[in-house]
Structure 1
Amino acid sequence: MNEIVVAPIELEEVAYEPTAGDPLIKRNLSMLGHVTVRLDVVLGAAEMNVEKLFGLGKGDTVTLDTHLDAPVILQLDGKSIARGQLMAVGDSFGLKITEIL
């Protein structure tokens, strides 16, 4: 029987401090540039019991745990990658990135 040996490796840690205008990822993306990903913007959250949830109707308000001026979170696959401010872009919402996480 062949025995598989797994040995730990040490990776060099490199510090990267993005400056204004730097892209989120600095790499040659020629092989991945065409891949589409989905980004989600998280405004906040709310907690309520099931009775109240099932009682919600048209016109009801759900209060979020976020202040009006607090930054929103940009997520990629559920992982927070940036913070920003909501903006109007024509007839749509947009996100002005203020911090890369």
Structure 2
Amino acid sequence: MIGRIAAAFALALLLSACASQIDAGVSAGAEVPGFWWGLWHGFIFPWAWIGSLFSPDIAVYAVPNTGGWYDFGFFVGITVLGGGSFFGSKKRGSG
């Protein structure tokens, strides 16, 4: 069990090393989406994704954005507000 967790953690760490964001995608200013917009965009992700399949004017992720804080808000919006933690917390029946 511990070996599988360690392997999953090592794989996640290896894959995250490949992640990068171009400098043109990160900006600063009053109009640039930050944490709160990331939170909102994460929350509406399922509907925005469906809309993006039918319209090229709909995007699920704002670019440019403030970088890490936008990403954190987006993550929280998807996992907590979007139901990600709800579906992972269901208890399995014993027996």
TM-score grouping bracket, smaller chain normalisation: under 0.3
Structure with more of its chain in helix, by fraction: 2
Bigger relative contact order (CA 8 A; separation at least 6): 2
Structure with more of its chain in strand, by fraction: 1
- Determine which structure has more spread, i.e. the larger CA radius of gyration: 1
TM-score (norm 2): 0.20
